[in-house]
Amino acid sequence: MVACSANPWHSRTRYAHNLRWMRIFEFSIVAVVLAISSAQAQTPWTSGDARAEYDAAFQASQRTPADTATVLRYAEAAIKVNDLEGAISALERLLLISGDQPRVKLELGTLYYRLGSYEAARAYFESARSSGRATTEIKQRADEYLVAIDSKTGKSQFSGDLMAGLRYSTNANSGPTGSIRSAGIPVVPNPTFSERPDFSAFTAMNVRHRYDLGRQDSGTLESNFALYATRQFQVTVANVAVVDVSTGPRMKPFEGWAEDVALKPFLTGRYVAVDDMTSYWAYGTGVEATAPLGSKIGTTLALFGRQRQFVNNSDVPTNNQNTGVEAASIFDLRAELTSTLWLSFNANAMRYSAVTAWESYGEFGIGAAMTKRFVDPLGINGRPWQATANIYTLIANYDQPNPVVDPTVARSQTDLGLGMLLTVPLDERFSLTAQVSYVQRWASLSNYAYNALTTLVGVGWRF
């Protein structure tokens, strides 16, 4: 075994490490972005004490339906157990007693807004704002909700999620832990390319736009912009930036038994930078189909093709040799087992045909996740916390041996990933997220085998 310091091989090794890094981030992007929106819009949790309080308040309101204090207590208790309709009924009874109560109207508008009944909410907000008894606070809150209603009911609607935080990995550059191979000979890699732990700052953003086409088939034009970026504290070779964009019309073109099937043909694009240098651009097209299987199961199937155009840079002067075409399929199934427990399963297959045979490969993966909502154990705000456990495996087999690494052994690898995600909602828009994940890769060539334990904490904002 010899020490290795040849620059051409190191350049290719760094590139191989960066591609491995990109695969991890494609899983991380999904996990982190989903965490942003998974708990921020949740409603207050129904604990045993809240249910008992609700039952007692309901009985009291039945005995004295004209008593304002009793009705208010019932409305407050109903909101705590997420019985919004019950709270609305109680508050509307108060307006029958006295119609000029702007705070009650403000609360009614808020409840209707949460139910998605925007026109009813608008009527109450406008009435609350125009009351002579309305305070400055009531007027400001009513105006804020009216702006939000205009945004939600207009033809053009924007929404999104943003998360930022810190991340630590025991293997920030996805480097091998032992010897590697160069031209089939075992060598000791330069420490730069070996396993290196590091901290990083990350940002994940997802912006969605929906435009109502005004068609009878519920047609909309949906566009999406996603960004994921990291800045390493020391291992700057692992700095990554990924931008994904897609756009296309969604419609329900069928009738009868298939009337709930929605189709979305789309255009897609991607930009990837590694080590602060452009790695590749990608562009393509595809189609997505979604269909419910009953009231508690949903499915999605996406098929797409994409051209990857790699760009030469100082790290990888022959990067363009990896240019090629990918064809992929993704299937996802989501099931609501109970009101607090969800299960999801996904499978994907991909074929990548590069201009060089040793960078062409086929890939197949499966994964599953279970999500559980539970009572806020610290009593912070009564909103449910959410925990998600996930597992996946990914298998890739390359067409031919890479003569630079080993002319006799073709690359093949199997990834196993495990993760746990905890989301703590702070209010309707902000949340805290913590994640622990572990990745183990077995490979036919030691150059590509590695493992990494990663943790992250972040703050999410839904807008």
Given a contact cutoff of 8 angstroms between Cβ atoms, the answer to whether 431 and 410 are in contact is no
Task: Encode burial over 321-356: b for 16+ CB neighbours within 10 A, e otherwise.
Answer: ebbbbbebebebbbeeeeeeebebebebebbbebee
Examine residue 414 and state whether it is found in any structural domain, yes or no: yes
Claim to verify: residue 344 and residue 374 sit in the same structural domain = yes
Positive or negative, the CA dihedral 405, 26, 239, 360 is positive
Q: In which order are the strands placed within the sheet that holds 180-182?
A: 2-3, 185-188, 180-182
pLDDT score, position 60: 84
Whether residue 303 sits in one domain with residue 177: yes
Beta-sheet pairing, 385-398 with 412-425 = antiparallel
What is the reported pLDDT for 274?
93
| CA pair distance 24, 257, nearest whole angstrom | 40
Mean pLDDT by 10 residues, the chain (463 residues): 42 43 44 45 54 82 77 82 84 82 91 89 91 90 89 81 96 78 64 82 95 78 96 94 96 89 96 95 97 91 97 90 96 92 96 96 97 88 89 97 93 97 90 96 93 96 88
Q: What is the pLDDT of residue 382?
A: 75
* Helical H segments across 191-234, by residue range: none
What's residue 157's pLDDT? 83
187 and 79 together in one domain? no
Residues constituting the chain:
463
Concatenating the DSSP letter of every residue in 350-380 gives EEEEESSGGG-EEEEEEEEEEEEEE--TT-S
Name the 3-class secondary structure at 31. Answer: helix
Tell me the two tokens of residue 54: 């609700």
Number of neighbours of residue 381 by Cβ within 10 angstroms = 12
**Are 318 and 359 found together in one domain?**
yes
> Which residue in 1, 8, 3, 20 sits closest to 238, CA to CA?
20
pLDDT of the residue at 189? 59
Which of 153, 181, 216 corresponds to the end of one domain? Answer: 153
The pLDDT, as a whole number, for residue 130 is 87
Is residue 450 within 8 A of residue 171, CB to CB? The reply is yes
Measure the CA–CA gap between 111 and 365, rounded to whole angstroms: 43
Cβ–Cβ < 8 Å for 360, 399:
yes
Distance, in Å, from the CA atom of 358 to the CA atom of 396, rounded to the nearest integer, reads 12
- Verify that 54 and 178 share a domain, yes or no: no
Q: How many domains does one find in the chain? A: 2
Residue 89 and residue 168 in one domain: no
Structural tokens at position 25? 């981030």
Q: Are residues 284 and 397 in the same domain?
A: yes
- Residue 73 to residue 2: CA distance in whole angstroms: 78
Q: What is the CATH number of the domain that holds 229?
A: 2.40.160.40
Instruction: Take residue 392 and report the two structure tokens written for it.
Output: 């996946």
Distances in Å between the Cα of 298 and the Cα atoms of 51, 98, 100, 121 are 31, 46, 45, 30
The parent domain of residue 352 ranges over 2-7+155-462
Coil vs helix vs strand at 409: coil
Could you tell me if residue 37 is inside a domain? no
Contact 174, 450 (CB under 8 A): yes
258 and 111 within one domain: no
Tell whether 27 is covered by a domain: no
Query: Is there a domain that residue 280 lies in?
Result: yes
CA distance 135 to 113: 21
